[in-house]
């Protein structure tokens, strides 16, 4: 993503969060950074209409592993995992209860879980990786070595690798190979079919997410979908029916430009999903 696209995403995210005009939000961000991207400095406020391009809109995810459970921003990738050994008998990815919501991998997957499924805790693996000169290795090399040479199951090799990279300053929370990511969720008092329709049907989506393009790539109604968001980022959502006529949507938004964009995207979705709840629970229909 180019710098001017990232800057415009930050402007739009601030507009959604504060209610400011484009000009006011832009001026605030320029005041913080001292300058705007060159292409943005040369342009005026984009029109909100059919001619408006996706790059002028606001701040998007690869499918989270684990079926109906979402994984937080630094969840180990499901593609390209080292084959390696199958590891200890019965080893598997952690349950949803083992996954935490703090920013780092160590904050979300416990020492006890890592020890149970790999035979060592984080400190043990970090020491071993340091002895292998791990800070000079790439993510792929680290995960592959854990899988092939140490017999760590693929999911857990990715978990240990991400935690190691974060601990040694090689990766910050929320960072992935293709950018940054955030995870969000919302529970509403509405059937899961209606919640799903609020994402995939343009008319319904316009009531809580106007002026943004969401192009569905794959979907299994009413359980999950992946979609391009404003043509530059990606979301992957799971929809779950709950008791009492409630339902939950939980999704990850990936390919974000940087940590600041990720933080502002998180705020953007909190506001928009709050409006989704208002609309679906019958308290209003204005964004």
User: In the structure encoding, which two tokens stand for residue 149, read together?
Assistant: 């040479």
pLDDT of residue 122: 93
Q: How far is CA 260 from the centre of its chain?
A: 13
Rounded distance between C-alpha atoms, residue 168 and residue 29, angstroms: 31
User: In the structure encoding, which two tokens stand for residue 231, read together?
Assistant: 């043509």
Rounded distance between C-alpha atoms, residue 179 and residue 164, angstroms: 18
The per-residue pLDDT string of the chain (287 residues; one tens digit each, 9 = 90 and over) reads 455 667 777 777 776 666 666 666 666 666 554 544 444 443 333 333 323 333 333 333 333 333 333 333 344 443 333 333 333 334 444 444 434 434 577 887 899 999 999 999 999 999 999 999 988 888 889 999 999 999 999 989 989 988 888 888 776 555 566 568 888 999 999 999 999 999 999 999 999 999 899 999 999 999 999 999 988 899 999 999 999 999 999 998 988 877 788 888 889 999 999 999 999 998 644 44
Which positions ≥6 away from 198 have C-beta within 8 Å?
A: 204, 205, 207, 208, 276, 279, 280
> Going along the chain, which residue ranges are E strands?
175-176, 179-188, 214-220, 224-229, 233-241, 247-256
Rounded distance between C-alpha atoms, residue 121 and residue 87, angstroms: 15
E strand or H helix at 261, and its extent?
helix 259-280
pLDDT of residue 77: 41
Rounded distance between C-alpha atoms, residue 135 and residue 234, angstroms: 30
pLDDT of residue 49: 33
Rounded distance between C-alpha atoms, residue 206 and residue 134, angstroms: 48
User: In the structure encoding, which two tokens stand for residue 175, read together?
Assistant: 């960072």
Rounded distance between C-alpha atoms, residue 137 and residue 154, angstroms: 18
Query: Which conformational region is residue 245 in: left (phi greater than 0), alpha (psi within -120 to 50 degrees), or beta?
Result: left
User: In the structure encoding, which two tokens stand for residue 73, read together?
Assistant: 């921003």
């Amino acid at each position: 993503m180019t710098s001017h696209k990232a800057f415009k995403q930050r402007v739009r995210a601030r507009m959604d969060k504060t209610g400011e005009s484009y000009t006011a939000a832009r001026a605030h961000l320029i005041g913080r950074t001292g300058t705007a991207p060159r292409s943005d400095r040369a342009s005026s406020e984009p029109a909100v209409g059919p001619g408006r391009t996706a790059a002028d809109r606001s701040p998007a995810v690869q499918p989270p592993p684990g079926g109906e459970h979402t994984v937080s921003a630094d969840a180990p990738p499901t593609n390209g995992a080292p084959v390696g050994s199958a590891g200890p008998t019965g080893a598997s990815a952690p349950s949803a209860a083992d996954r935490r919501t703090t920013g780092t991998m160590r904050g979300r997957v416990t020492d006890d879980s890592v020890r149970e499924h790999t035979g060592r805790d984080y400190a043990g693996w970090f020491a071993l990786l340091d002895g292998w000169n791990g800070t000079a290795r790439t993510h792929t090399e680290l995960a592959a070595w854990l899988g092939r040479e140490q017999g760590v199951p693929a999911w857990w090799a990715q978990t240990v690798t991400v935690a190691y990279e974060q601990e040694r300053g090689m990766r910050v929370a929320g960072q992935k190979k293709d950018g940054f990511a955030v995870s969000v969720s919302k529970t509403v008092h509405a059937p899961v079919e209606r919640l799903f329709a609020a994402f995939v049907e343009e008319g319904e989506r316009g009531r809580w997410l106007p002026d943004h393009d969401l192009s569905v790539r794959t979907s299994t109604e009413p359980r999950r979908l992946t979609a391009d968001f404003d043509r530059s980022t990606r979301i992957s959502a799971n929809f779950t029916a709950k008791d009492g006529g409630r339902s939950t949507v939980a999704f990850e938004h990936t390919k974000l430009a940087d940590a600041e964009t990720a933080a502002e995207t998180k705020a953007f979705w909190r506001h928009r999903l709050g409006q989704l709840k208002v609309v679906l629970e019958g308290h209003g229909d204005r964004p």
